[in-house]
Structure 1
């Protein structure tokens, strides 16, 4: 069975390579928004996360 359809399409599996810091930032940002890491990347690709939201997330992440 494939991944569930979101954004009107089935999802595909991909492989990403990130630094440990990149993984941590991705996890924190996605958790802050209450979404999965996959959905966070999807929203960035679709320009659904604004630069302002990115700056707010970075500020919250680094303030912890």
Structure 2
């Protein structure tokens, strides 16, 4: 795929994910592999944080029920 085709696919994916017809001026697509890797690492970190918070919440609820 060319860089332009990748940009088109990423834009389409972003629009599909948000249900929007077009991106607003303050939204942008990740432009390079390095930026994409950094963004994905950020998402993974946020996911792990949410998982940890959920585990703590379950533990607290479990102890309150006991």
TM-score (norm 1): 0.35
Larger proportion of helix: 2
TM-score (norm 2): 0.34
Larger proportion of strand: 1
